[in-house]
Structure formats: structure tokens, C-alpha cells
Amino acid sequence: MIELNGKKARVCVDPGHGGHDSGAIGPSGVRESEIALKLSKEVMFQLDDLGIDSYLTRTEDEFISLSGRVEESVESDCMVSIHCNAHTSQAQGIETIYDSSAGRHKALANYVQQSLIKHCQGHRDRGIKMSPSDAYPRKLFVLSAAKVPTCLTEVEFISHVEWEKWLDSDEGQNQIAFAIAQGIKSFLMSLPGAKMSDDRKTERLSMTTKAAPKSEEPIEVQQAPVMEAGAAGQLAEDTAKRIVDEAKISISEPSNEEAKIEVAQKKASGTESSGGSKGSGLKRKSKRKSKR
């Protein structure tokens, strides 16, 4: 498991929209709110596999105010808000947004974005975008009001007929969730005071053999989720460090040309509503099973 200063790391996963706010709707009627919830539940599952505690801001199709979401996140070490993008039928790609005011938010966005691009192949990398900025003019409340490192990821365009199918498929959801969980893990491991202690592995070894073998690879493979062969190997212990290193190298803002295109596209698109409405201040009872 991953510990931060001696405590088990804990992540808040925020499924965008819900209830009367369906978010964007795909060409065949798939709702963003529904996909966001399915993805978030899968991310929780994947994080659990990595020894990271997590909880959701909503567990069913219900409306949660933006301030309610931020409120839910305060007891976590970071929050990832999950959305799907929407624009013209041709628009495609994955992008992750962070707020301009805190440096760590950018790091989280970068780890999540890099991991999505790495594990979900064949998708356009639209990069990480600062909100508000020329590349992303809108201010998003869940980011600007965040008390912990927070990013909002837009996993593909639900308005694209092929990507709508992918978003709605088990295969697509597994890929996305695996990638987001790996990105979160890399971010947590980059924090000061982060430590990976592998108590599960110790238990397993003590059950099977007295002397732990030097090479623990077969055990790692058993723990890997069912993914393509390359992804299974990603669970090796050096993964976090490698992704960290790669992410450091590739941190970059989109080019000006790209930024202009993005601005034009975002201006033309009015479908994303996560930053628009003000939260009602609704404070929910936590649905968490366990408190730290």
C-alpha cells in the first residue's frame, strides 16, 4: 500500500454531473453522468488493487453541488474529477485540466494525462490545460475551490460516434480506469513523505514459502488486472518511478497554435457545465465505509 507520512493514502474520485444534470449526451444517447459514474467506480476498484484507499463523491445517479464535491474531498490526499468531453462530431482526444493557483494540481494533472495517453493507445493527446488561461478560458469551481490537489480529466469526446461506443464499453472503461489509477499512484509516490509498503506481498509469501525469493515478478503478475500484456507488466515495483521520470521529461504546455484551436473549440462548445453553476452549499453525509 501507499503511505503518506505514515497514513494510508486516500483519494477522492469525483464522477462528474448526475441526477438532473446529465452532462453531455452522445449521438446514440449515452449520458456523460452515467459514464463518469461507471468509470469512477472502476477507478476505485483499480486503486484498491494498488493499495490506495478511495471514495466517491456520489455513488448513484444523483445531483451533487460543486461545493458539495469540494467539501467531500477535504479528507483526501487528492481528488480526480472524471468527465467526458463534447464538441463537434469530429472532435477527439483526451485532456486534463488543472487550476492556475497551485503547483501540485498541475503535477497531478500531468501524471493522470500522461498515464491516460500511455495506456489508452490511439487517442489524441490534447495535453494538460490550465484553467483559466488562453488554452482553457473557463474557470472550473471544483478546481478553483479545491483544498487538496485536484484535476479534472476529460476522457475522450462522447460526441464522437466511435468514442462514445468506446466510453460505453467494458474494455474502454477498464483501460481508462487502469490509466487514471496508475496516474494517481505516480502522483502520490511523488509527494514528500510517500512510501510504498507491500504488506499484501509479505502475507502471500509467508503463506507459500519460508524464504522469500529475490525475484518477486511472478507474484506481481498474479496481482495484475486483466489487461493487455504490456499493461500487466506495469505493476512492477519500479513503475511509479519510471512514470514519474517520464512525466518530468514531458511536462509541457500545448503549443500556441494548438492553444488557439482549443480556445476556438471550447468557445464554440457550450456543453460542459462543471464550472458554470454555483454550488448550493449542500453538505452531504459521507458515505465512506471507513474513516482514517
Q: Which CB sits closer to Zn ion, 30 or 212?
A: 30
Residues 37-96 interacting with Zn ion (rule: CB under 5 A): 83
Query: In this chain, which stretch among 5-13, 15-23, 117-125, 129-137 interacts with Zn ion, using CB under 5 A?
Result: 15-23
Q: Which of 16, 26, 93, 127 binds Zn ion (CB under 5 A)?
A: 16
Site string for Zn ion, 231-270 (x = CB under 5 A): ----------------------------------------
Residue closer to Zn ion by CB (options 10, 17) is: 17
Count of chain residues binding Zn ion (CB under 5 A): 5
Q: Which residue has the cell 467526458?
A: 84
In the bound state with Zn ion, the residue whose beta carbon lies nearer, of 113 and 274, is: 274
The reply on whether position 275 binds Zn ion by CB under 5 A is no
Residue 23 engages Zn ion in binding (rule: CB under 5 A): yes
Max CA pair span of the chain: 64
Cβ 83 to Zn ion shortest distance, Å: 3
Picking from 140, 108, 117, the residue whose alpha carbon sits closest to that of residue 11 is 108
For the chain, the DSSP string reads -EEETTEE-EEEEEE--BTTB---B-TT--BHHHHHHHHHHHHHHHHHHTT-EEEES-SSS----HHHHHHHHTTSSEEEEEEEE--STT---EEEEEETT-HHHHHHHHHHHHHHHHHSTT--EEEEEEESSSS--S--HHHHT-SS-EEEEEEEETTSHHHHHHHTSHHHHHHHHHHHHHHHHHHHHHSTTEEE--HHHHHHHHHH-SSPPS--HHHHHHHS-S--HHHHHTTSTTHHHHHHHHHHHH--PPPHHHHHHHHHHHHH-----TTTSPP----PPP--S---
Instruction: Tell me the C-alpha distance between 179 and 121, whole Å.
Output: 11
In the complex, what is the shortest distance from the CB of residue 16 to Zn ion, in angstroms, rounded to a whole number?
Answer: 4
Q: Does 183 bind Zn ion (CB under 5 A)?
A: no
Nearest-approach distance from CB 290 to Zn ion, in angstroms: 29
Smallest distance from Zn ion to CB 23, Å: 4
Q: Which region, judged by CB under 5 A, interacts with Zn ion, from 1-9, 18-26, 55-63, 159-167?
A: 18-26
Shortest Cβ 154–Zn ion spacing (Å): 7
Q: Which is nearer to Zn ion, 154 or 220 (CB)?
A: 154
Whichever of 149 and 275 has its CB closer to Zn ion, that residue is: 275
Q: Which stretch binds Zn ion (CB under 5 A): 19-27, 54-62, 125-133, 172-180?
A: 19-27
Residues in contact with Zn ion by CB under 5 A are 16, 23, 83, 272, 274
